Chains A and B, each alone.
Chain A
């Protein structure tokens, strides 16, 4: 009777290693896919015949309109998508410097109105730019108050930042000029 071959044992060990290496390779190579998205919260439903709240003041209201050609009207003047973020930041941190911008960020409201013919891509770009503006303002305020970026703050600190610059978005009923 022959002794069991030592080489055969080594071969088994090698194949275990190979299988293990393959497993690790697949685990690393296959990124777990999670969807990314822009979050929003819709306003509660108000039946049409009910009295909807109306805005009476204009100074604290910043209006953005998008038409069916995906052009945007920023606070009354034609603008590019790239202008939205800096203008939002200026509008929020105005503190009474310009009469047509917000007197106090706690009262500032951004209003979006689109057309029924607006492309979703254009709408989401505008939405994204508004959020980018707010995020930039929040981050700057967090740095100034707590010396940290928003991501490193505790919950009460985040709440205090968001109380100073509340994200007040108003979406008007869409226009229906271009179909």
Chain B
């Protein structure tokens, strides 16, 4: 009897599930990763309120953070409430220049009249610094101000 090689049928590995695996990976990364926001150097524990409005149009918002610096910055900056604009500490006098920069770089010209200053202020910050910020905003005619707040029942 001649030696007949037995033909093994190797089952082809199905590739049909590959797209699914990739899809699941995509889902995983979409969920886990977060869009990079500006890193916040100050503690902003916002107060609670009832008469809230949603800030719908994010393209109009200009975030101003006011609060005491977080622990890692307290050595350098002290613990009194400070202002943060974009990625840096600032003083109230920096606001007009910052607003003009935002107008050039971030906000399209047809929306300049609708710009909103979204103020994320710690509830323990004192009004003195906030009044200064408000005065600077009035000087550059950015008069729509939204104080961020949480929901209270």
Residues of A participating in the B interface, judged by any CB pair closer than 8 Å: 1-2, 5, 8, 11-12, 15-16, 18-19, 22-23, 26, 30, 34-45, 114-121, 123-125, 127-128, 131-132, 135, 174, 176, 179
Contact = CB atoms under 8 A, between A and B. Distances in A.
A34 B102 CA distance: 21
Interface string B104-148: 000000000000001001111111101100110111010111111
B63 to A, nearest CB: 9
Interface residues of B, number: 47
B134 A42 contact: yes
25 contacts: A2-B11, A5-B11, A12-B20, A22-B27, A26-B30, A35-B118, A37-B149, A38-B53, A38-B149, A39-B144, A42-B143, A44-B138, A45-B135, A115-B127, A116-B131, A118-B127, A119-B124, A120-B66, A120-B121, A120-B126, A120-B130, A121-B124, A124-B47, A128-B50, A128-B51
Given A18-B20, A38-B147, A120-B122, 10 more contacts: A30-B31, A34-B56, A36-B53, A36-B54, A37-B53, A42-B145, A115-B127, A119-B126, A120-B127, A121-B47
Contacts of B131: 116, 174
Nearest to A68: B126
Interface in B37-89: 47, 49-56, 66
Nearest to B144: A41
A176 to B, nearest CB: 8
Nearest to B120: A35
Nearest to B55: A35
A115 B128 CA distance: 7
Contacts of A119: 123-127
Contacts of B124: 119-121
B138 A124 contact: no
B145 A117 contact: no
Nearest to B52: A36
B9 A1 contact: yes
